[in-house]
Amino acid sequence: MLSKTGKQISALSFLYDSIPENHVLKLVEKALDFSFINKKLAGSYCANFGRPAKEPEMMMKLNMLEYLYNLSDERVIEEASYNLAYKWFLGLNPEEKLPNPSLLSKFRTQRLKEATLDEVMSEIVRQCVEKGILNGVGLTIDATHIEANCVKKVPERIMKHLAKRIFKGLEKDVGSIPEGIDTEIPDYTQIEDHIEAKETMKTYLTEVMEQAKKHGGEATEKAIDEAEKVLSDEKFILQKGQRSLSDPDARVGSKSKTESFFGYKAEFTMTADERIITAMTVSSGEYVDGTEFERLLEATEQEGIKVEEFYGDRAYFRKNIMESLNDRNIRDYIPVSASVYKMDEEKFSYNKDSDEWICMAGNKTVKCRKTQRITNGKTYGVLEYTFDKAQCLRCPHRNECMGEKQTAVRKLRISDSTPYFYMKSQEQKTPEFKEKYKKRSAQEWKNGELKRFHGMARARGWGLRSVTFQAKMTAIAVNLKRIAAILSSFFPLSAALPA
């Protein structure tokens, strides 16, 4: 049951007068109304029965303090007990006691959901737009990796531990490991061929599972189900699936062509001028940048931000993203990706008005035919441009252009998106684009802030739900810090904050 008592009405409340007006928490508390948290979470509490519960707004603020100052559950309660700024922000009287640290964990697991955190972030941003704190029209996007809080293991080692868990399950259910169960786990480290080592361990684990099914009870069945789930994933043996039993959601992802990591990816959008995070998604490490682009952009627009410019790195130079931005009349500032746009601009140039390609010798295409290409079951549009035959036959660059397999005329087969990508590549060579694109660097600063000062470089817990909570709470915390910085620069200490 939620209590309905007043806050900060004791005789000792005058102690709060010592808190500086430019303190981060005072600036944030006076600018934002957090009472919406009680309304959003009221449905998860009993309205009329039970012991008075700790107010959701206060519990949420404790979590905000925890991530704002990079503290643990125990440490945030300890510091809030004697830090007047913390207590004032929490809405408590100076003499009031803080809840037990264990309640923070219960609040996160039993009251909060991923959708709730999204709503909290969105409401904070919406209030900033409403009060004129956010006025920019540019939006940036990027993804950053989060290392898992566990060791990445090879499939052979995981299968070894799965077998041991089955043995423990048997001991728990029947008191000891029955005869007929092969407990001699193969030493896979002595097998030089890695493929053979995996197959040996898989065969052994499968046999143990079959043998244990005849004797086991609940604990054994649970261990067998876990093993079956792991082995059923065809990516597991290829080392592209589960690589840890303590954190089954973590996956191997790529930082670059030569560097990988094990863990999760957080992708988020941020205002380019004010550097406020507007939306965030969290996925396992193999996530492909831009997959949740539409969701992030729609969430930002629903917060009241009028997006007119969009900034991203080469990973976002994709046809569906460019088309979506174009449909919304949003100017994109995304560099050309060589993996998407493959055209030798030294040999060919394009005239958009006449829909003609011009070669380095000045020969122009005279016709265009639309065809299709099927690759890996997917159908792609192809444009086949044909150059003027007479000019091709007498061209001095004929051997260089056509190579050994020479035909009468040069044909240029390209994706149906190539003409559009070519025009974009030319736009990006202009001084205006280069100057505007400098705004995208703010995203890198924010990545560094999240990781270096707020602990998002490594997961605090295990599993996608835990990492999602950590990443989104960290985003909310840095937003509060940034809002305070904006307010302190916009308004003198003697001036009133916007209503």
DSSP one-letter string for 128-196: HHHTTS----EEEEEEEEEE-SS----HHHHHHHHHHHHHHHHHHHHSSPPTT-------GGG-S-HHH
Q: What is the pLDDT of residue 353?
A: 65
One domain for residues 257 and 367: no
Is pLDDT of 495 > 60? no
Q: What is the pLDDT of residue 497?
A: 44
> To the nearest whole percent, how much of the chain has pLDDT over 70?
91
> Is 183 domain-assigned?
yes
One domain for residues 305 and 232: no
One domain for residues 326 and 353: no
**What is the number of domains present in the chain?**
4
Is pLDDT of 10 > 70? no
> Is 96 domain-assigned?
yes
pLDDT band per the 50, 70, 90 thresholds, residue 346: confident
Q: What is the pLDDT of residue 141?
A: 94
Q: What is the pLDDT of residue 250?
A: 94
One domain for residues 318 and 353: no
Q: What are 331's strand-pairing partners?
A: 309
Instruction: Identify which has the larger pLDDT, 16 or 76.
Output: 76
> Is 55 domain-assigned?
yes
Is pLDDT of 44 > 70? no
> Is 77 domain-assigned?
yes
Is pLDDT of 475 > 90? yes
CB 141 within 8 A of CB 278: no
Is pLDDT of 36 > 50? yes
Q: What integer best gives the mean pLDDT of the chain?
A: 85
Phi, psi (5° rounding) for residue 211?
-65, -40
CATH of the domain at 269: 3.30.420.10
One domain for residues 320 and 452: yes
pLDDT band per the 50, 70, 90 thresholds, residue 424: confident
State pLDDT tens for residues 52-90.
445 888 889 999 999 999 999 999 999 999 899 999 999
> Is 427 domain-assigned?
no
Q: Using CA atoms, how far apart are residues 66 and 477, in angstroms rounded to an integer? A: 9
Among 104-108, 191-195, 413-417, whose mean pLDDT is lowest?
413-417
One domain for residues 62 and 183: no
Q: Using CA atoms, how far apart are residues 327 and 345, in angstroms rounded to an integer? A: 28
One domain for residues 265 and 315: yes
Q: Using CA atoms, how far apart are residues 206 and 340, in angstroms rounded to an integer? A: 43
One domain for residues 443 and 398: no
Q: Which of 237, 267, 292 is the last residue of a domain?
A: 237
> Is 482 domain-assigned?
no
Q: How much is the average pLDDT of 142-158?
A: 93
DSSP states along 308-327: -EEE--GGG--HHHHHHHHH
One domain for residues 296 and 444: yes
Q: What is the DSSP letter of 107?
A: I
For 78, the enclosing helix (H) or strand (E) is helix 73-80
Q: What is the pLDDT of residue 7?
A: 54
One domain for residues 62 and 26: yes
Is pLDDT of 417 > 90? no
Q: Which of 212, 237, 262 is the last residue of a domain?
A: 237
Query: Domain residues for 398?
Result: 348-413
Is pLDDT of 31 > 70? yes
Q: How much is the average pLDDT of 443-454?
A: 92
Is pLDDT of 331 > 70? yes
> Is 120 domain-assigned?
no
Among 124-128, 135-139, 257-261, 340-344, whose mean pLDDT is lowest?
340-344
One domain for residues 406 and 288: no
Helices of type H across 233-346: 234-237, 293-302, 319-327
Instruction: Say how many C-beta atoms besides its own lie within 10 A of residue 280's C-beta.
Output: 22
Q: How much is the average pLDDT of 351-379?
A: 81
Q: How much is the average pLDDT of 372-376?
A: 79
Q: How much is the average pLDDT of 123-148?
A: 92
For 254, the enclosing helix (H) or strand (E) is strand 251-254
> To the nearest whole percent, how much of the chain has pLDDT over 90?
42
CA distances from 23 to 35, 453, 463, 485 (A): 21, 18, 35, 10
One domain for residues 26 and 164: no
Q: How many CA atoms lie within 13 A of 183 on its CB side?
A: 12
State pLDDT tens for residues 301-321.
999 999 999 999 888 988 789
Q: How much is the average pLDDT of 393-397?
A: 83
Q: What is the pLDDT of residue 3?
A: 47
State pLDDT tens for residues 93-117.
888 889 889 888 888 888 777 678 8
Task: Give the global pTM.
Answer: 0.82
Q: What is the pLDDT of residue 488?
A: 85
Is pLDDT of 197 > 70? yes
Q: Which of 209, 237, 265 is the last residue of a domain?
A: 237
Q: Using CA atoms, how far apart are residues 343 and 121, in angstroms rounded to an integer? A: 42
Among 149-153, 347-351, 464-468, whose mean pLDDT is lowest?
347-351
Is pLDDT of 49 > 50? no
> Is 245 domain-assigned?
no
pLDDT band per the 50, 70, 90 thresholds, residue 491: low
